[in-house]
Chains A and B, each alone.
Chain A
Amino acid sequence: MIELKNIEKYYANKGVKSYILRHVTTSIKQGEFVSIMGPSGAGKSTLLNILGMLEEPTYGQYEFMGEDVVSLNERKRIELYRNHIGFVFQAYHLIDEMTVAENIEAPLLYKKVPGSERKSRVADILDRFNMVAKSDLFPNQLSGGQQQLVGIARALVAQPSIILADEPTGNLQSAQALQIMDLFKKLNEEEGITIVQVTHSEVNAAYGSRILHLLDGVIKEDVTVQQTV
């Protein structure tokens, strides 16, 4: 599904290149659950952003479902996100002025899904996440865990083939964090959604099937997780 070849990312500052990513080459297959780990400043988030086409690599080749992303124009790239990628953020990043239901509906609006189908899909997902009663609340009326659930619901509603999650449990208490990770695992196993998450937590990483260890922009280790649970 994803092929990265020799991805490099650096910022030139006063002639000095500071590298974020160096020679990153890897591939992620459909249905994998990958965790990207590493200390602060290792380039995890940058790698995730490049996967999500939010940032462009300085150098290197990136193929997403057989398409060369680097050469795509903005409109095509937007097409790709809309149809295949769902984002989940550490800070949830819900739109404060929208209700829960509206936040979930927004990606469908951009995808130009017809009204009746929108309604049923939003209702469906609210039901699945047990949030029907909260559908008219605004984000600041919810707890962090609930907000992150909305964030995931929003990522899922467009039926993406891959979810990119940047420390999805970073702002949550451990009980809520477990709940989120269980949800990811379930989505991965039951619906075959590819998941790539950035995390600091070994516990969270254990939910996945594979761990990429990043250090100073270089992939140090690429291990397959033995399912213990």
Chain B
Amino acid sequence: MFKLNLKIAFRNLLKHKIASLINISGLAIGLAASLMLLLYVQYQWSYDKQFGNSENIYHLMVNFYGADKSITGTTPQVSNVLPLVLKEERPEIENISRVLWASRRLVANGQNSFKVEGRYADPDLLRIFKFDYLSGNPNKAFDDPNSIVLTEATAKRLFGSTDVLNKTVRFENQANLKVTAVIRDLPPNFTYGFECLTPWKLYENLNVWPAKQNWDNNSYFTLLTLKNGADPNAFNQKIKNTIARNMATKTLEAAPFVYPLEKYHLYGHFTNGVADGGQIEQVRIFIILALGILAIACINFMNLSTARSQKRAKEVGIRKTIGASRASLVMQFLLESFILTIVSVIIAVVLVEIFLPAFNGLLNTKLQISYASTGNWFAVTGLILFTGLIAGSYPAFFLSSFNPVQALKKTVTFKGNFSLSFRQVLVIIQFGFAIVLIVATLILYQQLQYLKNRPLGYDTNALVEMPHEGNLYPKFDLFKDRLLNSGAVTSITQSSGSIAFQNSNTSGLEWQGMAEDDKKMSFDLIQTTFDFLKTNNIRLISGRDFSKNFASDSSALMLNETAVERMGLKNPLGQRVLFNGKQRPVVGVFADVLWDEPTRRLRPMAIVFNAENSDVITMRLNTTRSIRENIDQITKITKELNPDFPVEIRFVDNLVAEKFEHEQMLSVISNLFAGLSIFVSCLGLFGLSAFSAEQRTKEIGVRKVLGASITGIISLLSVSFVKTVLIAIVLAMPIGYLIMDNWLMQFDYHISIGPVVFILTGISSILIALFTVSWQAYRAAKANPVDALKYE
């Protein structure tokens, strides 16, 4: 029986080519989309869990308390001394290691020199994460401060081989380090990824300030493992007062606690000290999208099968009269749906392989299907079972329920009863989902444009920046003169951070007439010397930029409009502001610069004169010459003055564009899925209209004989579908509005949702639906009525 049913299932597939094509392509698209999304979900899910023992690894975090003893903030960064104290005081700690943020570090071996992502960490880190060692001993690798652990790829790039133990690497042009271990490349979904790892001790040796124990500077990540059986909650109780007990001067009230690393990536966002989500929200959106698009494809399958049921009814009747039981018919229909699903899954996997690179580019990930993993095979089998069952269940149970006599007499009534209305409900669900996505897409697009159009307050055109490093420190003035003389740039400045994104802030500024609470006011902070406003083309409201003509400017400061307003300064120029223990005169007030995320409101900003703290050199290119020419000139001069470092010139407009990456990504994803879901829904609608036209052939024939016009018949056939889509529009739009309104609320700077979006969505969905069904209606209407009436 099984073999025969299998044969018949294939014959059916081939016989009804259009229906099979609609079913398989719809399902394949739905499955491919959901497979890709689920790959991404799996990627997010396995974050930081790759090195075993992950359930026992904790992240040290700190809660900050406000004046009323409530938690005002939570940060994953702690002071450099807290981990040391904890290690001494708490015997439950097995391993504990500080980890520095990743930075581009220069590595060289005489022939090759390039920058890689590097981190500093304590020796315990190599015991916390069980990396895969190609060579070297994790317990001894960091015994000597002048050691370096390389990943496979870095070792190959440097030496052309992974067999490089004990070879020397020139690090940051500052120290010669011995390679003490080579590990396999780290997965991209690892929070603390790096391409080279160096001992914390080296960090302290190479820089003066990190060596100083400082309770105030909460900048460092810390990971730890607890000894077997240690309860993290009890542990948190014990360490709660560590900061309070040890801090000499109480500038803030803070309590450390440990948080499972496994949850850190997905549930890393805290409000009032309570974890309330994080990346998990995006994962949830993706799961909903995956299930939604799969549901749309399944609905197509269900609808087309039931629409075809009149044809299949006869077969059911015959089979029942020759002795088929209901169960055997259910099995037969399920078998058909499983065959379809399996074929679709195969096509879906091919589609995924084709589109995964683009998807990876979009999400900035390195997803791939690992065919070797048994878990994936289980998941795919599960997906086939799930999809096959969902898609096949309704036809299976519906068709098998036919009474044989009625089925054979063709008196099974399909109109006006349960089956039709259920089909309509399914179409409403499909289009509802698609319409919500269209609304979301349009609003996302509007919001993105709104953000992009937000004035930055500086001019990104022909603005470039490069790291301030190596010899460029002592030779900065020479560098500046040579560049200006070369004509490649019209202006150049150094600063503590890039103009493109917020990278530093401070609080505790004092000025005359301030309120007590103003001490907590947080200022964006840029430290620079001359020509900062000029180079970035920031508008000066009053006063002047720092100038060489005023010797006192070496301790001066400028404020933005928002700062002046929030500080309540009536005549800001000449006022003195205390910063870093120095009274500084305000010499200028400049127009607001959008430095933070473009979705946030403007913040007070202070630009402080400080030649000592500089990481970035910003230059405005000479626009009368070609960009290529300018860049070549800059590269040449930089190479001459700072030969040990590669030249990395970046365009500020590209850096600014990165700030929109998340919104851009969401916009593309919603675009893509709105498109896919409307396409798959329309495939289904097309199939349904075809069957409806076929079912009503006789009616159309009679109507034509009685004198109905072609347009009359087209509207007769189309109107019920359009009505269904209309219902979907009415139901889906409020849902879309609520979801998107809620989404926009999280931003300080957002559009308000207008009626245009909904009018546009409504009109376009109806037009698309009409276009889809009218083709079939037209064909049916054009047919010769004699053929229709001759039928049987």
What is A's interface to B at a CB cutoff of 8 Å?
Answer: 49, 52, 54-55, 74-75, 78, 81-82, 87, 89, 91, 93-98, 102, 105-107, 109-111, 154, 158
- The distance in angstroms between the C-alpha atoms of A208 and B218, with both chains bound, is 104
Which residues from B are CB-within-8-Å of A94? 318
- Which residues of chain A come closer than 8 Å to B8, judged between CB atoms? 95, 97-98
> What are 26 residue pairs bridging A and B, where the CB atoms are less than 8 Å apart in the complex?
A52-B321, A54-B403, A54-B404, A55-B405, A81-B322, A82-B323, A91-B408, A93-B314, A93-B317, A95-B8, A96-B315, A97-B8, A97-B11, A97-B315, A98-B8, A102-B7, A105-B4, A106-B322, A107-B323, A109-B4, A110-B1, A110-B319, A110-B323, A110-B324, A158-B322, A158-B323
CB < 8 Å: which of B319, B403, B404, B408 contacts A95? B319
Q: Which residues of B contact A97 (CB under 8 A)?
A: 8, 11-12, 15, 315
Taking A89-B408, A98-B8 as contacts, is the C-beta distance between A107 and B322 under 8 angstroms?
Answer: yes
The yes or no answer to B583 lying at the interface (CB within 8 A) is no
**B11: chain A residues within 8 A (beta carbon):** 97
CB distance from B257 to the nearest CB of A (A): 64
Sample of 10 more A-B contacts, CB < 8 Å, known A94-B318, A95-B319, A97-B8: A74-B326, A81-B321, A81-B323, A91-B408, A93-B408, A97-B11, A110-B322, A110-B323, A110-B328, A111-B323
Q: Which residues of B contact A55 (CB under 8 A)?
A: 405
Residue of A nearest to B315 (CB): A95
How many residues does chain B have at the interface if contact means C-beta atoms less than 8 Å apart?
23
* B421: Cβ under 8 A from any A Cβ: no
Interface string of B1-33 (1 = CB under 8 A from A): 100100110011001000000000000000000
- For B324, the chain A residues whose CB sits under 8 A away are 78, 110
Identity of the chain B residue whose Cβ is nearest the Cβ of A52 in the assembled complex: B321
Q: Is B512's beta carbon under 8 Å from chain A?
A: no
- Contact status B325-A95, CB under 8 Å: no
Evaluate whether A106 and B319 lie within 8 angstroms (CB atoms) in the complex, with A54-B405, A89-B408, A97-B12 already known: yes
> What residue in chain A is nearest B14 (Cβ atoms)?
A97
Cβ contacts B708-720/A at 8 Å (1 or 0 each): 0000000000000
Q: Complex: how many Å from CA A50 to CA B405?
A: 10
Are B321 and A109 interface neighbours, CB within 8 A? no
Cα A82 to Cα B325 in complex, Å, equals 10
Instruction: Kindly state the separation between the CA atoms of A64 and B564 in the bound complex, as whole angstroms.
Output: 101
Contacts of A75 in B (CB 8 A): 325
B374-408 vs A: 1/0 string, CB under 8 Å? 00000000000000000000000000000111001
Q: Is the CB of A106 within 8 A of B408?
A: no
**A189 to B12 Cα, complex, angstroms:** 41
Encoded as 1 (CB less than 8 Å from any A CB) or 0, chain B from 315 to 352 comes to 10111011111101000000000000000000000000
**A contact residues around B325 at 8 Å (CB):** 74-75, 78, 110
Task: Using known A-B contacts A78-B325, A158-B323, determine if residue A109 contacts B15 with beta carbons closer than 8 Å.
Answer: no
Please report B residues at the A interface, Cβ cutoff 8 Å.
1, 4, 7-8, 11-12, 15, 314-315, 317-319, 321-326, 328, 403-405, 408
B321 near A54 (CB under 8 angstroms)?
Answer: yes
Residue of A nearest to B409 (CB): A45
Which B residues are CB-close (under 8 A) to A74? Answer: 325-326
A96: which B residues are within 8 A, CB to CB? 315
Task: Give the residue of B4, B12, B314, B328 whose beta carbon is less than 8 angstroms from that of A102.
Answer: B4
Quote the shortest CB–CB distance from A196 to chain B (angstroms).
Answer: 15
Q: A54-B404, A55-B405 are in contact. Are A106 and B4 (CB under 8 A)?
A: yes
Residues of chain B contacted by A109 (CB below 8 angstroms): 1, 4
Whose C-beta in chain B lies nearest to the C-beta of A110?
B323
Bound together, the chains give a CA A47 to CA B405 distance in angstroms of 12
- Beta-carbon nearest neighbor of A83 in chain B: B323
For the complex of A and B, 5 pairs with smallest distance between CB atoms: A82-B323, A110-B323, A107-B322, A109-B1, A54-B405
Query: How far apart are the CA atoms of A95 and B312 in the complex, in Å?
Result: 10
List the B side residues contacting A82 at CB < 8 Å.
323
What CA separation (Å) do A132 and B404 show in the bound complex?
Answer: 30
How many angstroms between the C-alpha atoms of A110 and B15 in the bound complex? 25
The verdict on A98 contacting B323 (CB below 8 Å), with A55-B405, A89-B408, A93-B408 known, is no
Q: How far is the CB of A62 from chain B (nearest CB, A)?
A: 15
Chain A residues within 8 Å of B1, by CB: 109-110
Q: Which residue of A lies closest to B12 (CB)?
A: A97
A225 to B89, CA, bound (A): 113
Nearest CB on A from B5, distance (A):
9
Within the complex, the shortest CB–CB distance from A52 to chain B, in Å, comes to 7
Q: How far is the CB of A13 from chain B (nearest CB, A)?
A: 14
CA distance in complex: A154, B12 (Å): 22
Complex formed: what's the CA distance from A107 to B318 in Å?
A: 10
| Bound CA span A111–B314, Å | 20
Q: Considering the chains assembled together, what is the distance between the CA atoms of A83 and B329 in angstroms?
A: 19
Closest residue on chain A to residue B325 by CB atoms: A78
Name the one of A49, A105, A107, A111 contacting B405, with C-beta atoms under 8 angstroms.
A49
Report the minimal beta-carbon distance from A217 to chain B, rounded to whole angstroms: 17
Contacts of B7 in A (CB 8 A): 102
Contacts of B315 in A (CB 8 A): 95-97
Residues on A with C-beta less than 8 A from B328 are 110
Q: Which residues of B contact A106 (CB under 8 A)?
A: 4, 319, 322
Determine which of B4, B15, B322 lies in contact with A87 in the assembled complex, contact meaning CB atoms within 8 Å: B322
Smallest CB gap from B15: residue in A: A97
Closest Cβ–Cβ distance, residue A125 to chain B (whole Å): 14
A140 to B164: give the CA distance in the assembly, Å: 76
A19 → chain B closest CB, angstroms: 18
User: Known contacts being A93-B317, A98-B8, A110-B328, is A154 close to B322, with CB within 8 Å?
Assistant: yes
Max chain B CB contacts within 10 Å: which of A75, A95, A105? Answer: A95
A107 CA to B325 CA, complexed, in Å: 11
Inside 8 A of A91's CB, which chain B residues have their CB?
Answer: 408
Would you give the shortest CB distance from A179 to chain B, in whole angstroms?
Answer: 23
Chain A: CB-nearest residue to B11: A97
- With both chains docked as a complex, state the minimum distance between the C-beta of B403 and any C-beta of chain A, in angstroms: 8
A79 nearest CB neighbor, chain B only: B323
Chain A positions within 8 Å of B12 at CB level: 97
In the complex, chain A residues whose CB is within 8 Å of the CB of B326? 74
- Chain A residue nearest in CB terms to B410: A91
Q: Which of A93, A98, A102 has its CB near the most chain B CB atoms (within 10 A)?
A: A93
Q: How far is the CA of A105 from the CA of B404 in the complex (A)?
A: 20
CA gap between A158 and B317 in the complex, in Å = 18
B782 to chain A, nearest CB (A): 26
Q: How far is the CA of A106 from the CA of B11 in the complex (A)?
A: 16
- Nearest chain B CB to A167 CB, angstrom units: 13
Minimum distance in angstroms from B121 CB to a CB of chain A:
68
**Smallest beta-carbon distance B778→chain A, Å:** 29
Shortest C-beta distance, A53 to chain B (Å), equals 10
Chain B nearest Cβ from A164, distance in angstroms: 9
CB-CB under 8 A from B314, the residues of chain A are: 93
Which of A82, A91, A97, A158 has most chain B Cβ within 10 Å? Answer: A97
User: A37 CB to closest chain B CB, in angstroms?
Assistant: 20
Interface centre among A49, A89, A96 (most CB of B within 10 A): A96
Residues of A within 8 A of B322 (CB): 81, 87, 106-107, 110, 154, 158
